[in-house]
Amino acid sequence: MLMSDKGLSQAAGLHEFSRQSPVRVIAVTGGKGGVGKTNVSINLGVTLAMSGRRVMLMDADLGLANVDVLLGLHPSVNLSHVVNGDCSLDDVLVEGPHGLRIIPASSGIKRMAELSHAEHTGLIRAFSTLEYNPEILLVDTAAGISDSVVTYVRAAHEVVVVVCDEPASITDAYAMIKVMHREYGVDRFRVLANMVNGAQEGYELYKKLAKVADRFLDVSLDYVGAVPYDEFLRKAVQKQRVLVDAYPRSKAALSFAKIGQKIDQWPMPRAASGRIEFFVERLFMNNKGGRTTVGTI
């Protein structure tokens, strides 16, 4: 019996899914709170979206989310509804500036801050069911080095550590790198200096962190760049707008544009690592020459 038009369409869709490219997954973390991590995530996300990339931003601070607040969005559902089984990930996707897709989390829900490792793993695996087809996923982690943060950082392909020129920030950034390396085998990190007085100060800050890491850890620390302190960022936050959209010629916005160009040149992941990863099926497909191995995972 011949397949119906609907059946042909479904078969074509499955074939197209099997050919989807891997997604570049970037965790934005820092150890210490207050280093501007979420603003970095949002502005890099919009910068990359403005360049024509399909970008998705996950608010991974599951119990104290604020990405939607900073963007002036009012989602009716969020990741708490996904965890409770009320809807799918596609249902919670919200469109932000310049086509950036947001996966909002909840705020003030204690249960979301206390998810088990299995529940975090389930969320990561759920990304393979998304109908939306991103090229880049940015994961804005919570502060600290909780199981939640560690799980999402390990599941990413690139780790951007945001650090500012404060002793506590440098100490906590190093602690994050040390834990991820010694306990989980992550050996490459990208460092972004935020809220600095200039490019030179940003590079000096990176060198401070790299010097300690080189002495005690066998890791690679690459310098992403520096974002200067900018009064226009405060104005953008007050307006619930993204700096690179509201004040594109400001010093910080120009720095985000430069960093975004760097990120766009980072290599795509080529194969699955064997640990829990976002969009892992695409990595298996890529590694198997386009043949889907979803049923074996």
The residue written with tokens 């820092």 in the block is 30
User: Using one digit for the tens of pLDDT, what is the confidence trace for 254-297?
Assistant: 999 999 999 999 988 877 777 789 988 776 655 554 433 332 22
Q: What are phi and psi of 81, to 5 degrees?
A: -75, -30
Tell me, yes or no, whether 288 lies in a domain: no
Query: Do the domain assignments include residue 3?
Result: no
| Ranges under pLDDT 70 in the chain | 1-20, 283-297
What pLDDT does residue 296 have?
Answer: 28
Would you say residue 292 lies in a domain?
no
Supply the range of the domain harboring residue 199: 23-282
The pLDDT tens digits for 115-159 are 999 999 999 999 998 999 999 999 999 999 999 999 999 999 999
Residue 77 lies in a domain: yes
Whole-number pLDDT of residue 42: 98
Residue 18 lies in a domain: no
Burial of 203 (0-12, 13-18, 19+ CB in 10 A): middle
Q: Would 123 be classed as within a structural domain? A: yes
pLDDT reported for residue 200: 96
Per-residue model confidence (pLDDT) at position 287: 55
pLDDT at 273: 73
- Give the model's pLDDT for residue 32: 86
Give the span between the Cα atoms of 222 and 206, in whole angstroms.
Answer: 9
Any idea what the CATH number is for the domain that residue 151 is in? Answer: 3.40.50.300
Report yes or no on 6 lying in a domain. no
| Overall domain count for the chain | 1
pLDDT at 288: 52
H/E run at residue 177: helix 167-184
H-helix or E-strand spanning residue 163? strand 158-163
Distance between CA atoms of 74 and 11, rounded to whole angstroms?
37
Instruction: Tell me the CA distances in angstroms from 108 to 62, 193, 271, one per residue in order.
Output: 9, 30, 38
pLDDT score, position 181: 96
Residue 11 lies inside a defined structural domain of this protein: no
